[in-house]
Structure 1
Amino acid sequence: MATTSLSGSWVSSLPGQFHAPNSSCSNRPRAIPLSIVKSCSKETHLSEEGCTFSRRLVLAGVGTLAANIFKSFAFAEEVPENYRAFVDFIDGYSYYYPSDWRDFDFRGHDSAFKDRALALQNVRVSFKPTDKQDIRDLGPMNEVIFNLVRNVLAAPTQRPTIFDMQEKTVDGKNYWTFEYELASPNFSRTAFATIAIGNGRYYTLIVGANERRWSRFRNRLKVVADSFKLLDI
């Protein structure tokens, strides 16, 4: 695995998913959530923005194939203590999230988890089609990330600052992770984002918290950002 980093500061001017619990958690139910089924049925909510997937947790009744897939992922790399693994074999990605967070619907995102008490402390993943083969095909890392934060992640009333950018290569796939803050007159939020390209998709994972809690939870949330991986589908 190769890693490079670039630090600096910048403002606005410039269904096959399952959850693998950590092996040290003894209070987990015997039935492991093996998949989240997503469908546009009569349970689906329609709005002007389109279809929002309803999600149903599928427990028990695991076949031999599903069990083997679970074992190959869960034990190839041990899930860190106090985290769980979320794996989506249909959409081609996985990541860790804190074991005390819960699943929730975040509009426009494929998966999301949040702190049970602090809704703004959360992780979510989205993706969109692309004809690019690798994240490097988008251009220089600093330019791509600056434009992403300024034009996509930040609202017009927010002042963005980027603190750090890192690139890593895992199993031949390149990932860019960066730390940034979005500041408004009355509120600031800091986050890590990891972006990658594979399977004909441009994936984005964002995990963050409000600015007052960032220093306390930063290292914990960095584990989530660094854990994001693409799966071949």
Structure 2
Amino acid sequence: MVVPKDGFDVCAEVPDKYQAFIDARDGYSYYYPSDWRDFDFRGHDSAFKDRILSLQNVRLSFIPTEKKDIHELGEMEEVISNLVKNVYAAPNQTPIIYAMQEKNIDGKNYWTFEYELATPRYSRVAFATISIGNGRQYTLIVGANERRWSRVRDKLKVVADSFKVLDI
């Protein structure tokens, strides 16, 4: 865990069976299940996975942007559809978007969406939350394989909903 800025304490709000990850240097925080462990995920700033079922994981990445808010990317439905179909999905995967929601926390807008990437042999379902702040577009993705999704969906939704962009 990166040391938080003075006066910033999300730990007081952490739900039971979760831990807070706070990266004050890169400007974000989120919760992850306390029995998960840290791991390297290429191209991501932070990542945690289940100790046994490594396909259950959360990862966060960011890219530089001159935009100040996610609304500058376009209409939510269009942007999310484009991301899932053209960025997240491999050519052999069929993307399905189940739900999209927008929320505002402390003046910052977030889009969270649930989607599945399916092949004839395997499917993965995930939540992604995106937001813009600090000259960066942040993306948090938390998911599991389709067979386990119904059992872990609510647990992983807590992770997706906990993501916050911090002012740096």
TM range (shorter): over 0.9
Could you tell me the TM-score, scaled by structure 1's length? 0.70
Report the structure number with the largest CA radius of gyration.
Answer: 1
Counterpart AA for 2:9: F
SS at match of 2:9: helix
Within 1, Cα distance between the matches of 2:8 and 2:115?
35
Q: Does 1:118 align with 2:53?
A: yes
Within 2, Cα distance between the matches of 1:126 and 1:218?
21
Task: Please name the residue that 1:12 is paired with.
Answer: none
Stretches (4+) displaced over 6 A: none
Q: 1:203 aligns with which of 134, 138, 151?
A: 138
Deviation of 1:74 (Å): 3.6
Task: Please name the residue that 2:30 is paired with.
Answer: 95
1:54-102 CA distances to partner (integer Å, 9 max, x unpaired)?
A: xxxxxxxxxxxx6x83x64145x42000000000001000000000000
Task: Please name the residue that 2:90 is paired with.
Answer: 155
Deviation of 1:207 (Å): 0.1
Deviation of 1:127 (Å): 0.3
1:123-160 CA distances to partner (integer Å, 9 max, x unpaired)?
A: 00000001100001000000000000011000000000
1:155-200 CA distances to partner (integer Å, 9 max, x unpaired)?
A: 0000000000000000000000000000001000000000000000
Aligned Cα root-mean-square deviation (Å): 1.3
Within 1, Cα distance between the matches of 2:148 and 2:115?
14
Within 1, Cα distance between the matches of 2:21 and 2:74?
30
Within 2, Cα distance between the matches of 1:87 and 1:72?
9
Within 2, Cα distance between the matches of 1:74 and 1:149?
30
**Residues 1-233 of structure 1: matches in 2 within 5 Å?**
17-18=1-2, 34=3, 69=6, 72-74=8-10, 77-233=12-168
> Alignment length, in residue pairs?
168
5+ unaligned residues in a row in structure 2: which ranges?
Answer: none
Within 1, Cα distance between the matches of 2:128 and 2:10?
24
Deviation of 1:218 (Å): 0.1
Counterpart AA for 1:131: E
1:24-65 CA distances to partner (integer Å, 9 max, x unpaired)?
A: xxxxxxxxxx4xxxxxxxxxxxxxxxxxxxxxxxxxxxxxxx
Could you tell me the TM-score, scaled by structure 2's length? 0.96
Identity %: 71
Within 2, Cα distance between the matches of 1:74 and 1:225?
15
5+ unaligned residues in a row in structure 1: which ranges?
Answer: 1-16, 19-33, 35-65
